């Protein structure tokens, strides 16, 4: 029965967007702040919203990582700065202790900006992060 399925919360996993070497491209990372590796990590990313009066939808990109080590950051993909004016969504699924977790991380329109910078763990850089 549905009531017998445990619903466990995703904790200590974050998505961060950090400026790159180019002003036009920043980098997106997944951060594993757990004491254990996570495995079979699937990340779907997409952007959507209104840009200059037009409805915009980006392609859905899918990334797979067999394992992400504990206390580490791994680059997912670059993101164009012009996409910061729309909503950017990252849906993360992974396995830990024979349980499949998933969580949606949503950077709402305009939230990826220098005003929202924080220090990103394990990278030693400033960026925007959602836990």
Q: Tens digits of per-residue pLDDT, 73-108?
A: 999 999 999 999 999 999 999 999 999 999 999 999
pLDDT at 3: 80
pLDDT of residue 22: 85
Q: Where are the domains of the chain?
A: 2-121
Q: How far apart are CA 38 and CA 128, in angstroms?
A: 22
In this prediction, residue 52 carries a pLDDT of 84
- Note the pLDDT tens digit of each residue in 12-41: 999 999 999 888 999 999 999 999 999 999
Global pTM? 0.93
Q: What is the CA radius of gyration of the chain?
A: 15
Two tokens at 80?
A: 């164009």
* Architecture of the CATH domain 2-121: Sandwich (2.60)
Give bridge partners of residue 122 from the DSSP assignment: none
- Residue 131 reports pLDDT greater than 90: yes
């Amino acid at each position: 029965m549905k009531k017998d399925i445990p619903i466990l919360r995703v904790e200590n996993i974050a998505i961060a967007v950090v400026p790159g070497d180019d002003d036009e491209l920043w980098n997106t990372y997944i951060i594993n702040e757990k004491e254990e590796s996570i495995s079979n990590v699937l990340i779907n990313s997409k952007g959507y919203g209104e840009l200059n009066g037009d409805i915009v939808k980006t392609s859905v990109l899918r990334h797979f990582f067999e394992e992400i080590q504990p206390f580490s950051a791994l680059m997912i993909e670059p993101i164009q700065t012009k996409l910061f004016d729309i909503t950017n969504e990252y849906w993360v699924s992974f396995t830990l202790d024979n349980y499949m977790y998933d969580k949606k991380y949503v950077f709402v329109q305009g939230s990826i900006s220098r005003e929202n910078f924080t220090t990103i763990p394990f990278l030693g850089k400033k960026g925007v992060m959602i836990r």
